[in-house]
Amino acid sequence: MVTQLVAQHALWILLFSLPAVLLWWHVWTGHPSSTLTCACGDPAQEVWFMAWPAWAITHFHSIFFSGAVNVPFGANLLSNTSGPLVGVVLAPVTWLWGPVVSTNVALTLAPGLSAWGCWLAIRRYVHWRPGAVPAAMIYGYSAAMSENLIFGHVSVSVLLLPPLIFASLYETLVRQEKDPIRNGIVLALLVITQFLISPEILVMVMLFSAIGVLAAIAVGWRQVPSHLERAIPALAIGVGVSLVALAYPAYLGLAGPESVSGVLFAIAPISGVFISGYLSPGHYGAFAAPYLRFGGYFGRTGPTSNYIGWGLAATTVGSLYVARRRPIVWLLALLGVAVSVLALGSLLLGGTFVISHVWLPWRALSKVPVLEEILPDQFAPLITLFLAFIFALGLDVAYGRLQLVKRLRAHETRALAAVGTVVLGALALVPVFVTFDMPYTVHPTRVPVYMRTVAPTLPANSVLLTVPYAVSGSTPAMLWQAVDGLHFRLAGGALKTPNAKGGPVGQGTPGSARRILTDLSVLGNKEPLGTATEYATVRRALRTWQVNKVVIDGLSRDPLYASGFLTAAIGTAPHFVHYAWVWTIPPGGPRAPAITNKSLYLCRLASDKPAEKHHRLSMAKCVTEITHGPL
C-alpha cells in the first residue's frame, strides 16, 4: 500500500514536471553535465551551492559553513541563498554525475514539486479534485517561478512547502478536524524543512501567516475562545519543536561566524515589482538586458515576475464571485492583496514612472531586522499561491452547482466540469506560459584547461587566488572549484561575507585588495594603476589569505594587463601553463620585492605591438625587464 502510494505521487510529480522538461529542453537533449544558462553570474554560484553539501557530507563538515572559500575566514552559508537541504537530497546525483547535473535536476523539478505541493494542499478543500491540477500549475509555472529558474535560484524556486504550511495553519486554527498533536508535529516538520530550503521564504510565509491570523481573529472573534482549546496544543508543539530544532542554525545564520546582517542588496529599496506588471508582461521577447546578463541569462526577456495576465485575473474574479459564500475565499483574497502590495516594495513603480510620496507598507517593514534582508519582489511567487486556491475553489463550487441540475446525469456532470476546467485552466495558464523564453537559452560550462587538468592535481587544501577573482558579480572560479570536487580552496568568494560592521563587504572598499582584484577582473571601475601602495596591499593579502597559487585563467577584463600587475606585485614572472598564467607563492607570501616602477601602461602598449601580440608572457616580461634587465 505504501509503495503504491509513493508510486502514485511520484507519477504526479513527473506529470507536473513535464512542462519544465520543455523549458529545459536544450539541457536534457544536450549535455546536462556541462550545460547551464550561463557559467557565470547566479547560475555558477548555484552550482557551488549544490556541490558543497555533497562534499561536506563525505568529509564530515558542516553543511551550513564552508572553509573552502574566503580563506582563511570561510563563509556562512545561512547568510546566503544556499538551500542546503536541496543539496543534501541531491547529494547522490552530485556524487555520481557532478554538481551541474544536480543543479539542472533541481531546476527542472522545482516547478513540478511546487505544483505538486499546491495540489496536495488544495485537495483538502475541494470535492472536484481535477480542478486542483490547473490551479497547481498556475502556482508552479508562474512568471516569478520562470524568472527564478533562468537565474538558477534553486532555494527560492523549490516552493513545495508554502501551500502546505498555509493548509496546516488553516487546519490548526480554523477547521480543526484532525488531532491537535498531529497538526503540531506536521506544522513543525514543515517549518523546519522550509528553513533548510530557504529561510528567506520561511520569513515571508510567517509574515503572511501573521496577516492571515490577525484577519481571521478580527472577523471571527466570537469563535476564538472555542477554537483555542485545540489550537493552543498544536501551536505549542509546532512552535516549540521548531524553535528547539532551529535554534542553532538560526543563531548561526543571524549571529554566527561570518554572518551578514542589514541590507544585503544595494537595490533593496527599489527592488519592488512594477504595478503595471500584474496585467502587462512588458517588453518581453527582446534580447536580455544588461541586468539579466549580469545575473547570468543571455536569452530573451520574459514577463515581469509579478505578471498574472488578463486570463488569470478574469478567472480569479469569476471564482471569487462564484465561491463568495465560502469564508476561506475572502481570507485568500485578503492574503493575495496583502502579498501583492508587499511585492511593490517601498516605491510605487510603473513602467515609466516612480511615485515616491505614496506610502507603502514595505517602507516601514524594510527597516525591521531580518525583513530588511529580503528583496520585496521575491513575494511575487506567493501571489499566485492564493490565486491558485481561489481558482480551485471557484471550480469546486461550480461543480457542486452542476450536480444540482437534475436533468444532468453523473457522467454528464463530470464531463461538463472537465471541459470547463480545461478551458478555464488554459485561459489562466496559456497567456503567462507563452511569454516565457521557451526553451530556455543555455550555454556550455567550459572549464579552462588548467583548472580542469592541473588544479585537481595540486596538493589537497591548496589555496588559489584566481583572476577572474571570486567576488560578487564574478562567479566562474566558484564553478571551477565545484566542478573539480572542491579539491582546492579559494581566496575570495562570490558570497555574502561581512565587512567590519557586519554588512555585506561586496566588492570591497576602494584601495582594498578585494577591490583591486575585482577591478582587475570585471568592468566597472578603472583598472589598478600599479602603485606601490596597491602592490603592498596585494602582497599583504596573499600572506593573510595563505595563497599557494595565483592563476589567471578563463575570461576576465584584461588578463594580459592583470599578468603585468601581478608580476609587479609578486616580484616574479609567471609560468604560462595550459593557457593560464601561474605563480607559485612560497609559504609566508612572496619573497622577491615588488617591482614598484610605474611601467604598466607602457608595458601594455608594448605588448600590443605586432611582434609581441601573440606572446602571452610579453607583459610580464616587459615589467621584469625594466627593473632587472632582460630575462
What mean pLDDT do residues 39-56 have? 95
Reported as a single tens digit per residue, the pLDDT across 51-68 is 999 999 999 999 999 999
Residue found under cell 622577491: 592
User: What DSSP string describes 132-147?
Assistant: HHHHHHHHHT-HHHHH
What mean pLDDT do residues 61-83 have? 94
Q: What is the pLDDT of residue 631?
A: 40
Higher pLDDT, 239 or 605: 239
- Please tell me what DSSP assigns to residue 509: -
What mean pLDDT do residues 118-141 have? 95
- The band of 228, judged by pLDDT with boundaries at 50, 70 and 90, is confident
Q: Residue 170 pLDDT > 50, yes or no? A: yes
What proportion of the chain, given as a percentage, has pLDDT over 70?
96
Buried b (16+ CB within 10 A) or exposed e, 104-136: bbbbbbbbbbbbbbbbbbbbebbebebbbbbbb
What mean pLDDT do residues 193-202 have? 96
Q: What is the pLDDT of residue 288?
A: 66
Q: Is 187 in contact with 169 (CB distance < 8 Å)? A: yes
Q: What is the pLDDT of residue 533?
A: 95
User: Phi and psi at residue 354, in whole multiples of 5°?
Assistant: -130, 125
Reported as a single tens digit per residue, the pLDDT across 480-530 is 999 999 999 999 999 999 988 888 898 889 999 999 999 999 988 899 999
In the beta sheet, which residues pair with residue 498? 504
Q: How far apart are CA 574 and CA 623, in angstroms?
A: 11
State the Cα torsion 195-197-199-201 to the nearest 10°: -110
What proportion of the chain, given as a percentage, has pLDDT over 90?
72
Please name which of 163, 388, 377, 153 lies closest in space to residue 274, comparing C-alpha atoms. Answer: 377
Reported as a single tens digit per residue, the pLDDT across 387-405 is 999 999 999 999 999 988 8
Q: What is the pLDDT of residue 611?
A: 61
User: Phi and psi at residue 583, in whole multiples of 5°?
Assistant: -115, 135
User: Cα dist. 250→20, 449, 502, 614 in Å?
Assistant: 33, 41, 16, 54
